[in-house]
Amino acid sequence: MREDIKQRIEAVHEGSVLEGYKYTFRLSPASWKEYPLKKMAKKVKQKNQDNAVTKVLSNTAMHGVIRQADYFEKDIANSDNTDGYYVVEEKDFVYNPRISSMAPYGPIRANELGIKGVVSPLYTVFRLNDSDKFEYDFMRYYFESSQWYKYMYTVANYGARHDRMNISSSDFFDLAIALPSLKEQQRIVEILNYCSKVIELKQQLIEEEHNRKKWLQQKLFAPKDALCKPLGDLCIIIMGQSPDSKSYNIQKEGVPLIQGNADISDRSPSPRNYTSAPTKMCMKGDIILSVRAPVGMVSRTDISACLGRGVCAIRAKDYGDYLYQFLLFFENKWGQISQGSTFDAVSGNEIVKIMVPIVDDIEETANVLMSVDTKISLLESELSQWQQKKKALMQLLLTGIVRVSV
């Protein structure tokens, strides 16, 4: 990075307004012209008369505009009674006022599904005007960025619901957007499109590796006439329990606690808090299994920790990597044996009965699957780096801190 750009970034971080720049609700070069959204777009008010459009859409912070049926495996809304929903054409923008950690002021995303759909009347839908002053893709990246957050904060009335922005339509469309020249917009779009393409490629490669692993699991863990042994013969199972706070000094000798699927969902347990009385402990290398809803989530620990209710430790007598891979394969099958009136759970007596196929070359089987896991982890790391790079570039390019040659 050039030294002058570094100095510019440092000055901005210190709260300075750079020479030749202006700051209202966000930084932008003084030469960039501002336009209120109401001059650039119109609000979509078309209702779904007679339920003519049947595809129900949602706008999610993580995935943008998606079909409800694809994301939730079914339509949350009753598709036979959506006449009060707004019709969303391709490339229409949708604002979801629900806030989250990923979208602190609600997400604004474009419908790029290539289909017409409908969205809840709680959403705001708008369509860009035809203009030679702005690019559709530039606007798409603008709303993907955080450039408009501070304005929303100043006009929002949170009201009774803390999880939803309450913004009047007039305030929403008064949002002022600073635009560079059309040629500079196009150059910015080229740069960000390149990042998006790389991210898309990484995501495709990760999906392909996951599919390859599923295929390998089916082949390796379902051999014909394989000898099978109960899981209880191959390992020691330690069921977690509620810690006893009376017998241990929390302040002086706290012990990490693993309890429930929230601590193991990333495949690498990271205890959230401290507890007392290490009466049930796991050791480094143990397999951790969620035994309460959702049953079957598997991870592996690299620490010693106290086992709370909701998890158990599986300590392999031998071939720990193989058992870990088998239990990953078995994750979706726990529903067949879990039970419970209030929530699903599985007991230690049921866990020990799980039949594990003993293949001819256990170590090689484990190594093959572990190598796929390693490749997926590397790809996920690369994906994360590119996502951060794109986020940083949007911040630099859409504020004009970094100018592009045109």
- For the chain, give the secondary structure using H, E and C: CCHHHHHHHHHHHCCCCCCCEEECCCEEECCCEEEEHHHHEEECCCECHHHCCCCEEEEECCCEEEEHHHHCCCCCCCCCCCCCCEEECCCCEEECCECCCCCCCCCEEECCCCCCEEECCCCEEEEECCCCCCCHHHHHHHHHCCCCHHHHHHHCCCCCCCCECCCCHHHHHCCEEEECCHHHHHHHHHHHHHHHHHHHHHHHHHHHHHHHHHHHHHHHCCCCCCEEEEHHHHEEEEECCCCCHHHCCHHHHCEEEECCHHHCCCCCCCCCEEECCCCCEECCCCEEEECECCCCCEEECCCCEEECCCEEEEEECCCHHHHHHHHHHHHHHHHHCCECCCCCECCHHHHCCCEEEECCCHHHHHHHHHHHHHHHHHHHHHHHHHHHHHHHHHHHHHCCCCCCCC
The answer to whether position 5 is within a domain reads no
The answer to whether position 4 is within a domain reads no
The answer to whether position 22 is within a domain reads yes
Which of 358, 374, 395 lies at the terminal end of a domain, its last residue?
358
Q: Are 364 and 354 in a shared domain?
A: no
Strands 305-307 and 255-258: parallel
CA distances from 94 to 37, 43, 105 (A): 14, 10, 13
- What's residue 346's pLDDT? 86
Dihedral of CA 387/393/399/404: which sign? Answer: negative
Q: What's the rounded Cα separation, in Å, for the pair 50 and 48? A: 6
Q: Are 245 and 201 in a shared domain?
A: no
The answer to whether position 8 is within a domain reads no
Q: Are 80 and 126 in a shared domain?
A: yes
CATH number, domain of 30, equals 3.90.220.20
- What's residue 271's pLDDT? 53
Q: Are 105 and 248 in a shared domain?
A: no
pLDDT along the chain (406 residues), means of 10: 68 72 88 95 94 91 90 61 91 94 93 95 95 94 95 79 84 96 96 97 97 93 83 92 56 63 58 53 89 86 84 92 94 72 76 90 94 97 96 93 86
Q: Are 174 and 203 in a shared domain?
A: no
Q: What's the rounded Cα separation, in Å, for the pair 125 and 108? A: 9
Q: What's the rounded Cα separation, in Å, for the pair 95 and 149? A: 13
- 91, 120 Cβ separation under 8 angstroms: no
- What's residue 106's pLDDT? 93
- What's residue 245's pLDDT? 54
Q: Are 33 and 165 in a shared domain?
A: yes
The answer to whether position 218 is within a domain reads no
- What's residue 156's pLDDT? 87
- What's residue 240's pLDDT? 87
Q: What's the rounded Cα separation, in Å, for the pair 402 and 2? A: 10
Q: What are phi and psi of 39, to 5 degrees?
A: -90, -10
CA angle 238, 241, 245 (to 5 degrees): 130
Q: Are 67 and 57 in a shared domain?
A: yes
Q: What's the rounded Cα separation, in Å, for the pair 313 and 286? A: 6
How many domains are contained in the chain? Answer: 3
Q: What's the rounded Cα separation, in Å, for the pair 287 and 330? A: 13
The answer to whether position 55 is within a domain reads yes
Q: Are 235 and 313 in a shared domain?
A: yes
CA distances from 241 to 237, 238, 334, 342 (A): 13, 10, 20, 19
The answer to whether position 21 is within a domain reads yes
- What's residue 261's pLDDT? 62
Q: Are 63 and 139 in a shared domain?
A: yes
Q: Are 282 and 399 in a shared domain?
A: no
- 269, 289 Cβ separation under 8 angstroms: no
The domain of 50 spans 17-179
Q: Are 30 and 130 in a shared domain?
A: yes
- What's residue 287's pLDDT? 93
- 147, 398 Cβ separation under 8 angstroms: yes
Q: Which of 357, 398, 363 is nearest to 221 (CA)?
A: 357
Q: Are 175 and 37 in a shared domain?
A: yes
The answer to whether position 6 is within a domain reads no
